[in-house]
Structure 1
């Protein structure tokens, strides 16, 4: 990696660029190639997941307040938030976006968007690993928090 590439991605900008592209694909693909006849049950379940994911994402962002950043690098003067949705999972914004993207794919009955949602899960897992290394360096209390709270799914993962 060259020094300019390293500087460009020093705070995790590459993850953010990738997630924007994947999220855009998930959103746009069903609109460009709509699928007719999606079963009502899938549309209802998908809509419920979109609402749940949007609510979790919004609640998590509000709870972070000035600590919110799309980058895996924490704010220099930030604080570790361990309340609200952060008592359930360490990365609730990622969990919410995954729920919403899965819901969008299901509501539209679109396999391509469903596949991209799987790719987004993989990307968020990589980004979360990098973010957790950075949080451990920045916050001495992070390892204890990490032991208590799961990454994306309460009690599971």
Structure 2
């Protein structure tokens, strides 16, 4: 497969979301490099959010196993995962990455990092919509799962 055809396939499978995601994560990280003086409670809150986010990302990745893909299209031969964190929320990795970004912004006292985290959360909303369309097409049982499971935060959204 030639490079142009690989790029075309990447774009068709939602690669623009992946590229934007990595750019936004980089912007969150870079904007948090410059920090304001923050108190001990703010540091504790930031570190707690980061620890929670990291644990959620790691657990979500473990639950997906071989089904894990950055693209919003399921891999060939993928199976629908509805256990572990996926039994409580449909997109735990996205939720965890947002919690990491929020924690970083709070820890560093960085409005810029928090703003880019809000942009990342917005991107994840649209990426999740694209992903759910693909999952519905591939897995008929996804419709019932979607009805009983919140998208990003258990019991809320």
TM range (shorter): over 0.9
1:23 paired to 2:50: no
Q: Displaced runs of 4+ in structure 1, greater than 3 A?
A: 3-8
Distance 1:86 1:26 in 2: 26
In the TM superposition, residue 36 of structure 1 has moved relative to its aligned partner by 3.2
> Counterparts of 1:125 and 1:14 in 2: how far apart (Å)?
14
Note the C-alpha offset of 1:35. 2.3
Change (3 A) 1:8 1:70: closer
Hey, what does 2:14 align to over in structure 1?
A: 12
Partner of 1:9: helix, strand, or coil? Answer: helix
TM-score (ref. length: structure 2): 0.93
The whole-number CA distance in structure 1 between the counterparts of 2:152 and 2:103 is 16
What RMSD in Å do the two structures reach over aligned CA positions?
Answer: 1.5
TM-score by length of 1: 0.93
Give structure 1 stretches of 5+ with no counterpart: none
Q: Match for residue 151 of structure 1? A: 151
Q: CA deviation at 1:4?
A: 9.9
For 1:26 and 1:129, locate their aligned partners in 2 and report how far apart those are by CA, in whole Å.
23
Mapped to 1, the partners of 2:107 and 2:53 lie a distance apart of: 13
How many residue pairs match? The answer is 153
C-alpha displacement of 1:152:
0.1
- Secondary structure of the corresponding residue to residue 32 of structure 2: helix
